A and B are shown apart, each in its own frame.
Chain A
Amino acid sequence: MPKKEKPNTREVRIIDREKMNALINQLAERILEKNQDLSEVTLVGIRSRGTHLARRIAEKIFEKCGNRVPVGILDITLYRDDLRSRIDQPMLVRTEIPGPIEDRNIILVDDVLFTGRTIRAAMDGIMDMGRARMIQLAVLVDRGFRELPIRANYTGEYVPIKSDQTIRVRFAEDGEEDGVILREVP
């Protein structure tokens, strides 16, 4: 559901539809390069935009080599470190990961990498479900400013931005035009 924007927010589309498609394509290629045995790989999208991205990457991988990589959905709400300081209880979405986690090569997928706290929560969530052989991370945009020692294995684009700016990735799946938007909050 698109949120209401403040009227005086300045928005710039820094990555358009074509470029975003190319970046997703690139992510798929690099994942294929680094993971010889695709039968061990599960893509796990962190809901909700990470799930869109994971499905897109899986589609690209299928186009390239004809293999269907399973895609899971992970809701990290229960693992958030700010859960109790939020005013609203966030609505839970069911976590659905196809097959057992045991000995799988899990590639976490999210749209934006920022503080790293979401990824920390996601790793805890995955580990509670079983012992994966490996956990990797793929993101479309890395906006910098990490608060935890976390780095992505596959990054679409590095976009260092200032603290009064935010980044938002839009997906056609949510009824918006594909693209990455840079927002300045005056």
Chain B
Amino acid sequence: MAWGKRKDLLGIEDLSREEIETILDTAESFKDVSRRQIKKVPALRGVTVVNLFLEPSTRTRTSFELAGKRLSADVINISASGSSIIKGESLKDTACNIEAMNTDILVFRHSKAGAAHFLSKVLKCSVVNAGDGAHEHPTQALLDLYSIREKTKRIEGLTVAIIGDIAHSRVARSNILALRKMGAHVRVAGPATMIPAGVEKLGVDVTYKIEEAVEGADVVMMLRIQQERQGKNLFPSIREYSRFFGLNRARLKGAKKDILIMHPGPINRGVEIAPDVADGPYSIILDQVTNGVAVRMAILFLYSGAAL
């Protein structure tokens, strides 16, 4: 398909299946670049990318930074603690000031849902959503699709179980949307307090037992227990959560022999996933991280045209 000009990547919601496939195919070329001795191509020479991360991150920020640098773009990182936001500058003013320095692409993370949409309306430069509250994290879902496709060669018809705090997870939401668009079956599992009401409307099956979710699944995605996002207690204790919803070897006994175990990171070892499973033979957790750079290179490349 012809890609044409497009300005912002705000969520999986706005992408068609065809567009998702184009992004994944483009990422394949960039994966090769990262494997070379000289991990750099001149494609985005002279393009300025600003990573504005108002929420903590190592993986996503580093991944976007490397992606930009491997495309020869100039990349700057701004975090909340090092910015004038702590002096009381509004988000809009901060963003407009960054844009006034002729920024081409703003990669943006914020703790509030809709923050990236808001900036996309205020700014003329491209906005790439790197996570907005519990809403969406599109590049994570895209790198997850890429990682699955790399191993299984297809996504259509697969059964994917997403386990954990579905209600507070932007990763879950973006992945449900993306996997459904690509024709996969999705199951979600977790404590009833962490399954949002009406989640079936997204076309997913719900179960409250991890064993049921794992049985027959081609892929299991474990979600991190987000202690920072929990206003109230959604389960009695970490130990109890782990006992009922943690993924360990015993729970994989009935699983498919070629199951893929994924986790967006950072891992709470021994909470949602046992160390020997996270580091075990089915785990593609570090492949996800490797592929993240290639997918973000594809995103920066495809969305850089908008600032012409």
Q: A and B from one assembly? A: yes
Is A163 among interface residues, defined by CB-CB distance under 8 A?
Answer: no
- How does the 8 Å CB contact mask read for B1-32 relative to A, with 1 for contact and 0 for none? 11111000000000000000010011011101
Q: Which of B2, B28, B30, B46 contacts A88 (CB 8 A)?
A: B2
Query: Do residues B42 and A78 form an inter-chain contact, with CB atoms below 8 A?
Result: yes
Is B124 among interface residues, defined by CB-CB distance under 8 A?
Answer: no
Is B38 among interface residues, defined by CB-CB distance under 8 A?
Answer: yes
Q: Which of A85, A88, A93, A129 contacts B29 (CB 8 A)?
A: A93
| A89-B41 contact, Cβ under 8 Å, with A94-B29, A128-B36, A129-B36 | no
Q: How large is the interface on B (under 10, 10 to 19, 20 to 34, 35 or more residues)?
A: 20 to 34
Query: Do residues B4 and A89 form an inter-chain contact, with CB atoms below 8 A?
Result: yes
| A84-B29 contact, Cβ under 8 Å, with A89-B4, A128-B38, A130-B37 | no
A135→B142 CA distance, assembly (Å)? 38
Q: Which of B3, B30, B42 contacts A89 (CB 8 A)?
A: B3
Is B305 among interface residues, defined by CB-CB distance under 8 A?
Answer: yes
Total interface residues on A, using CB and 8 Å?
21
Query: Do residues B4 and A91 form an inter-chain contact, with CB atoms below 8 A?
Result: no
Q: Which of B2, B4, B29, B305 contacts A95 (CB 8 A)?
A: B29
A79→B30 CA distance, assembly (Å)? 13
| A residues at B contact (CB < 8 Å) | 75, 77-79, 83-89, 91-95, 124-125, 128-130
Q: Can you list 17 A-B contacts with CB-CB less than 8 angstroms, sorted by A residue number? A: A77-B43, A78-B42, A78-B43, A79-B42, A84-B46, A84-B47, A85-B308, A87-B305, A87-B308, A89-B304, A91-B25, A93-B29, A94-B28, A124-B42, A128-B41, A129-B36, A130-B37
User: Given A77-B43, A129-B38, 12 other A-B contacts at CB below 8 A?
Assistant: A78-B71, A78-B301, A79-B43, A84-B305, A85-B308, A86-B305, A88-B305, A92-B25, A92-B26, A92-B301, A94-B28, A95-B32
